[in-house]
């Protein structure tokens, strides 16, 4: 049995710049918090895995005093929970209204894998409602129902820890040699490869400059026939996709790492 596992943000759709960032900033405004992330500052914050973890990193003594926040850990945790709930609502609304279009090749490669009997999963540090909204928009509700979705706090140690991918292997019932992951970031790549998984990286504007040396294949997107050809940034085993990445290319990635 073979499995295809996707990260969500930056892989299924270009969600960071056009979804998460505006949802974070709207949340900060609604709660009168002294923070508005620029695109550059948010890019730096992406080095921290998880929405709540990014929010928690803001809580310097100066920020807490300026915002009039509780100083005790329980009080701060309660505030973060409120911010995160509202941010998730805003993000899901963006996703469901179709303002976060899927990245090239996602619907196609999922259809190919499903037809071939591959198991499908998404592993993400984002909240589960956010992930499901993006997934349904990207592949359709019926196809989305075939996915195992592991998201949010399903494991305590988030990417770049391998825990979420180890859990996916267990839940999917597949061996490391029969599972290929599509990721977009350094943290996600490390999480997948530390779990022993073959990984293809589809970069985006935030992650193109990151080290992806552990990836079997690095491309600008999965691409689609009769659309703009992809750019191959690294091909360490001679997989040689041309205009787009097909299921046969993903199989070749698996065989190259056996």
User: How far is the first Cα of the chain from the last one, in angstroms, to the nearest whole number?
Assistant: 15
Distance CA 107, CA 180 (A): 17
Closest by Cα among 184, 248, 255 to 215? 184
Closest by Cα among 202, 205, 235, 207 to 219? 202
Whether 243 is a known active-site residue: answer no
Cα–Cα separations (whole angstroms), residue 41 to 24, 37, 44, 57, 129:
12, 6, 5, 13, 25
Whether 7 is a known active-site residue: answer yes
Mention every residue, 6+ apart, whose C-beta is less than 8 A from residue 45: 37, 54, 57
* CB count in 10 Å sphere of residue 52: 19
Residue 129, H or E segment = helix 128-139
Phi, psi torsion values for 179, nearest 5 degrees: -140, 125
Per annotation, catalytic residue among 7, 51, 184, 224? 7
Largest distance between two CA atoms of the chain: 57
Tokens of 257: 């790492």
Distance CA 137, CA 31 (A): 29
Collapsing DSSP states into helix, strand and coil, what is residue 52? helix
Residues belonging to the active site: 7, 9
């Amino acid at each position: 049995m073979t499995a295809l596992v996707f990260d969500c943000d930056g892989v299924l759709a270009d969600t960071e710049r056009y979804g998460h960032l505006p949802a974070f900033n709207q949340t900060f405004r609604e709660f009168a918090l002294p923070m508005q992330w620029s695109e550059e500052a948010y890019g730096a914050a992406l080095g921290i895995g998880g929405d709540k973890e990014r929010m928690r990193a803001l809580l310097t003594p100066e920020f807490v005093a300026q915002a009039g926040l509780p100083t005790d850990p329980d009080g701060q945790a309660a505030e973060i929970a409120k911010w995160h709930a509202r941010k998730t609502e805003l993000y899901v609304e963006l996703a469901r209204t179709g303002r976060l279009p899927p990245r090239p090749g996602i619907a196609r490669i999922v259809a190919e894998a499903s037809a071939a009997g591959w198991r499908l999963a998404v592993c993400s540090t984002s909240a589960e409602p956010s992930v499901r909204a993006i997934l349904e928009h990207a592949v359709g509700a019926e196809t989305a129902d075939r996915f195992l979705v592991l998201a949010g706090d399903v494991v305590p140690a988030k990417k770049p820890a391998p825990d979420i991918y180890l859990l996916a292997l267990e839940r999917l019932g597949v061996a490391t040699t029969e599972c290929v992951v599509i990721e977009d970031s350094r943290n996600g790549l490390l999480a997948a490869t530390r779990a022993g998984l073959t990984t293809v990286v589809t970069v985006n504007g935030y992650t193109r400059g990151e080290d992806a040396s552990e990836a079997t294949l690095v491309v600008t997107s999965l691409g689609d026939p009769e659309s703009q050809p992809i750019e191959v940034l690294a091909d360490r085993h001679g997989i040689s996709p041309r205009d787009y990445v097909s299921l046969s290319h993903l199989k070749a990635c698996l065989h190259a790492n056996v």
